[in-house]
Amino acid sequence: MPIFTNSGCPGARIEPMLINLQSLIDDAKCYETVRQLRWPEGVSCPKCDSKRIVKQGLDETEPLRQRYQCKDCQVRFDDLSHTIEAGHHQPLRVWMLCLYLMGLNLSNQQIAAELDLNKDDVQQMTNQLREGIVQSKPRVILEDEVECDEAYVIAGHKGQPDAVQKKGRLGRRRRLKTKAGRGTLAKEKPPIFGMIQRGGEVVLQMLSNVKQATIAPIIQDIIVAGTLIYTDEYRIYARLVAWGYQHKSVCHAQGEYARDEDGDGFHEVHVNTPGRLLVSPALMVKTSSRNFSSKAAPVSWLF
């Protein structure tokens, strides 16, 4: 991170210098932020949810990490107990910076360079953060106006030794080379189904195939009945009205990608939003069917 400073002398040349990002982060504010996010109504016991909590000093290795004890069940815990960051040697500020840089769509190698860390350590940290996001994310319900579209991950079974062994071949060093067009999980080109509420939440899910029987239960579980759904002309969406939804589509095969139906100059019928998300570099590069869910979680922050 280049920072330019001046020695203070008139006419002095501005000299570039490097500053470690970690030195710009206040540890006390990091812990205060964790407490506010974790216990907005005051510290409570992670076991019995009691509010009868007493402080038990500070951690020996992290002097700003407060320890507590529950007066009802006698359980001892601290600011990071039962969190992703618990039990790791990296300071809390490093985890927060790592999470922030993930949100900026930086690769693990870029994050390692910015934080002056070993790339293998960063790989482990980002994996744990992604898995934590997936596990803690609440159930999403979409309504009003929703766009649906699909794309295809072509990394195949890379990173899945058992699946590769069943194919009777060596592991692939580069991404799968395959024909253009749609695919299935069995062909190592699984479809990714994207649903995005305009101005709202995003849902990405990897499917075994793109058939009506596959997408119907997913749509009916996530999208509220009566919602207006925008899609392309693909036949898997032909029964949306029968399933209880309003449906408008554009025909990509005829060169139609957006349509203005009410004459206001705004082309409201389109599926461009999930298309941008599904081709995000952070999602489609070095992504396999094994780690798609964890890769998709932070990517959805960008939209």
Let me know if 42 is exposed, middle or buried by CB neighbors in 10 A (0-12, 13-18, 19+).
exposed
Instruction: Report residue 239's pLDDT band, with 50, 70 and 90 as the boundaries.
Output: very high
DSSP string, 227-279: -EEEE-S-GGGTTTTTTT-EEEE--GGGT--EE-SSSSS---EE-HHHHHHHT
91 has pLDDT over 90: no
**pTM score of the predicted model:** 0.56
Sheet holding 66-70, edge to edge: 53-58, 66-70, 76-78
At residue 8, the pLDDT reads: 46
| Cβ atoms of 38 and 78 closer than 8 Å | no
At residue 24, the pLDDT reads: 58
Rg over alpha carbons for the chain, rounded to the nearest Å, is 24
Instruction: Please give the domain boundaries of the chain with CATH numbers for all domains.
Output: 145-302 (3.30.420)
| Cβ atoms of 119 and 112 closer than 8 Å | yes
Contacts of 237 (CB under 8 A, 6+ apart): 148, 229, 231, 247, 249
How many Å apart are CA 299 and CA 130, to the nearest integer? 10
- DSSP letter (8 states) at residue 54: E
Instruction: Report residue 281's pLDDT band, with 50, 70 and 90 as the boundaries.
Output: very low
